[in-house]
Amino acid sequence: MGRSLYLSNIHNLLWLCDLGRWEDRTAGLIDKDWKMSPANAGLFLQMLADSESVLEANLKKVKPAKGGTKAKVDKYFHDKYKRLKAFLQGAIDRKEDIQCSI
């Protein structure tokens, strides 16, 4: 069994990538049992790569919370983006399904 991807944990990142309407954007990537195959993980990875410029443009509009800094906000989302890509690539490399949930 593969690892799990909790969509609610990446929702804010998906919105910044203009992929926030998960159901609309990923129709067909997740099966009826909420599993994403390695092939579909590759498609999702490509969707993320295609949205990198959108992510950067939207990050410019994000304001830090009180007491925070813009640098910390940018680092948070860049790190989250890198972890998501590594997670997807790992499933592809291991040829494992990803169990998805909301």
Domain boundaries, the chain: 4-101
Instruction: List residues bridging with 99 in a β-sheet.
Output: 4, 35
Task: Check residue 2 and give its pLDDT.
Answer: 64
pLDDT above 90 for 23: no
**Which pLDDT belongs to residue 31?**
87
Say which range, 24-28, 46-50, 91-95, has the weakest mean pLDDT. Answer: 24-28
In angstroms, the CA 23 to CA 77 distance is 22
Cβ atoms of 97 and 30 within 8 Å: the answer is no
If you average pLDDT over residues 25-31, what whole number do you get?
A: 77
> Which of 1-10, 55-64, 72-81, 88-97 has the lowest average pLDDT?
1-10
pLDDT of residue 96: 94
Please tell me the predicted confidence (pLDDT) of residue 3: 76
